[in-house]
Amino acid sequence: MPTVEVADLKDGDFLLDVREDDEWQAGHAAQALHIPISDFVARYGELTEAAPQDARVHVICRSGGRSAQVTMYLVQQGIDAVNVDGGMQVWQAAGRPVVTDEGQPGHVL
């Protein structure tokens, strides 16, 4: 499974958050696209429209399990996708910003 460390992510990397709505609302990376894993197949077109052409998709969830499933699906579809190791827990622990939809400080559920 293709994997990347949070520390290796750069500003501007395309980030797909597959956590559920309540997790997203508590806090997320500001630049992330949110498509919950429970809706992912039905909303797949939103990803293909939003992701820059030929850009890598960095998939993140809380700890890495759900994002690993989505990463494997995307790779099977021929998309350059990688799982973010440790997910939002590591993101937050590394001091990366976690915000709410209103731009206020958030937290990881």
Give buried/exposed letters for 54-68 (b at 16+ CB in 10 A, else e): eeebbbbbbbbebbb
What average pLDDT does range 59-73 have in this prediction? 97
Query: Which among 6, 18, 59, 61 is annotated as catalytic?
Result: 61
pTM: 0.96
* pLDDT greater than 90 at residue 41: yes
Q: Please give the backbone phi and psi of residue 59, each rounded to the nearest 5 degrees, phi first.
A: -100, 130
Residue 14 confidence (pLDDT): 97
* pLDDT greater than 90 at residue 100: yes
In the chain, the percentage of residues whose pLDDT exceeds 90 is 94
Asked whether the beta carbons of 18 and 28 are under 8 A apart, the reply is: no
* pLDDT greater than 90 at residue 4: yes
Catalytic-residue membership of 61:
yes
Residue 29 confidence (pLDDT): 97
- pLDDT band at residue 23 using 50, 70 and 90 as cut-offs: very high
* pLDDT greater than 90 at residue 53: no
Q: Please give the backbone phi and psi of residue 108, each rounded to the nearest 5 degrees, phi first.
A: -95, 125
Beta bridge partners of 16: 33, 59
